[in-house]
Amino acid sequence: MSKVRVRFAPSPTGGLHLGGVRTVLYNYLYAKKHGGDFIVRIEDTDQTRFVTGAEEYIFDCLNWCGLKPDESILHGGPYAPYRQSERKESYTAYAKQLVEAGYAYYAFDTKEELEKMREDNKTAENPAPQYDQSIRQKMRNSLHLTDTEVKDLLAKNTAYVIRIKMPANEVISFTDMIRGEVSFDSTLVDDKVLLKADGMPTYHLAVVVDDYLMKISHAFRGEEWLPSAPVHLLLWKYLGWEKQMPQWAHLPLIMGPNGKLSKRDGAKYGFPVFAMNWTDPKTNELVEGFKEKGFLPEAFINLLAVLGWNDGTEQELYSMEELIESFSMDRVHVAGAKFDYEKAKWFNHEWIKKLDTEHLRGYVKPILLADNFVLPDDSSLDKVIELVKERCVLLTDFVQQAGFFFKTPDTFDIDAVKPKWDATKKDYFEILCSHLNALPEFTFSNMENAFKELATEKNIKVGELQMILRVMLVGSKMGPAVFTIAETIGLDETIKRIQNAIISFD
């Protein structure tokens, strides 16, 4: 059996959305599970849609997700080039081969003629007429033009495309690894363009040729490609490569809250749709990514993997290694899945709790630094991370949840304190400061004892005092156990914050 080789073939036209990342992931998982190769090939045959920076962006995303290709424009490999625009010549030869064998033909129709054809044939029942067998005899193509006419047109450098000649009344079927047998009536499929007037292939020709040349064994792509599968199947056959044809799997779509997940409208949904921030160079419009939103790549990969796949067990949290181990294409769902941002956040929360602190620090530290916090040494920072991580859903939550450890609060939740603040309490806290100073060692239990003893002595309810102390140290009613916070920030800072707060409360 030949080696497993799968490819992800993005076109550099913009951000990498959820569905795209999941497609890469499944490709990657399948390849790794079977000890095969994962190839990234750039499909840029439509130069008019090419967006500067999009290629680099795609690789940045793959890198962040931990999906390293074995072969690509960046990583090299034996089947270079991996950019379709650089493989232009080979496609032309194959297209001509198809014409000579009678499986394809030259079409000289201009854009206007095509438009006219669509306009003339448009009816209520047929709003989108196709260039198919019912119509091709009426068009300007080598199917009914004489040889001399064709040669003449070619000699005059008339613009032409090469179209596949779809056969009549054939059932074209194949077995999809996810959905089983799928079949089409060839009569209903149109004569797709294979080679464009600019000499570039269309996707249809390019995938087949490249998959063959790159020895791809399994072709996994989005469900939107299912309707054009018969064209690809025929091409494999007409080119004489039927035996080498890869196994297909058409992955289900990821849907937004109301139907199709549109690429650009992250803001509309209130959650990201791209892996990483994407700024369209033409419009300068920024679409926020999962990375910048505060997602861990581990969580992002995890949530995408189980959106449309499960291994039949109750496990939901998977590392990349576990995914590679458990993944199988036949357990991928047939139906599309609606993306649920609440569940996505749950995955992130779980991963924040699950990840070891040192690893987590690598993600958290830059975020805190970017917010201008003055951070202590790593081991002190780790203690804080350990203390607050269970209440952080997104990495960006660390700013609020951990920030007060590194910065004296300058505002207080006065509303929470006001009803409970009076001269007695003020007196209490002033005495508390001196008691704290007298402590042999400033630990949370020593402090707690001193705190409670003084409360009993003054006959004040401990609970109320604790709430006030919390607001004094944190600024608001949040965070881990108060005395632990005090111990963490130290004696001097604790006293400083108490005295600071007393002034503010008055």
Interactions with RNA, residue window 182-221 (CB under 7 A): 182-185, 188, 190, 193, 196-198, 200, 202-203
* Residue closer to RNA (CB basis): 202 or 217: 202
Q: Is 419 in the site for RNA (CB under 7 A)?
A: no
Q: Tell me how far, at minimum, the Cβ of 265 lies from RNA, in Å.
A: 13
Span from 148-156, 268-276, 306-314, 376-384 in contact with RNA (CB under 7 A): 306-314
Task: Give catalytic residue positions.
Answer: 263
Among residues 22, 425, 470, 497, the one that binds RNA under rule CB under 7 A: 470
The distance in angstroms from the start CA to the end CA of the chain is: 81
**Helix, strand or coil, per DSSP, at residue 491:** helix
Q: State how far the Cα of 84 lies from the Cα of 79, in Å rounded to an integer.
A: 12
Q: Which of 239, 206, 192, 194 has its CA nearest to residue 87?
A: 206
Helix crossing, 341-354 with 297-305: angle to 10°?
A: 130
Nearest to 83 by CA among 93, 72, 94, 92: 72
55, 23 Cβ separation under 8 angstroms = no
Task: State in angstroms the smallest separation of the CB of 358 from RNA.
Answer: 20
**Rounded-to-integer distance, Cα 277 and Cα 296, Å:** 14
How many binding residues for RNA (CB under 7 A)? 84
Q: Give min distance, CB of 1 to RNA, in A.
A: 27
96 binds RNA (CB under 7 A): no
CA distances from 148 to 37, 53, 95, 142, 195 (A): 48, 47, 20, 10, 22
Position of tokens 């576990």? 322
Question: What is the closest distance, in whole angstroms, from the C-beta atom of residue 477 to RNA in the complex?
Answer: 3
Chain position carrying tokens 């991580």: 389
Q: Give 484 or 500: the residue with its C-beta nearer to RNA.
A: 484
Q: Of 240 and 463, which has the nearer Cβ to RNA?
A: 463
CB of 377 to RNA, least distance (A): 25
> Scanning residues 380 to 409, which ones bind RNA (CB under 7 A)?
390-391
98-137: contacts with RNA (CB under 7 A): 109-111, 114, 118, 124-131
Are 251 and 178 a contacting pair, CB within 8 Å? yes
Question: Which residues inside 247-266 make contact with RNA, applying CB under 7 A?
Answer: 252-253, 255, 258-260
The stretch among 238-246, 302-310, 354-362, 491-499 that binds RNA (CB under 7 A) is: 302-310
> Restricting to residues 421-460, which ones interact with RNA according to CB under 7 A?
none
Alpha-carbon dihedral 380, 385, 388, 390, rounded to 10 degrees: -150
Complete DSSP assignment for 320-388? HHHHHHH--GGGB-SS-EE--HHHHHHHHHHHHHHS-HHHHHHHHHHHHHHTT-----HHHHHHHHHHH
Q: Which of 16, 306, 417, 486 binds RNA (CB under 7 A)?
A: 306
Region near RNA per CB under 7 A, out of 64-72, 282-290, 322-330, 470-478? 470-478
Q: According to CB under 7 A, which residues from 353 to 372 bind RNA?
A: 353
- Give the Cα-Cα-Cα angle 326, 332, 338 (nearest 5 degrees): 120
Q: Does 227 bind RNA (CB under 7 A)?
A: yes
Closest CB to RNA among 93 and 370?
93
Question: Does residue 269 belong to the site contacting RNA (CB under 7 A)?
Answer: no
Considering only residues 480, 491, 493, 495, which one is a binding residue for RNA as defined by CB under 7 A?
480
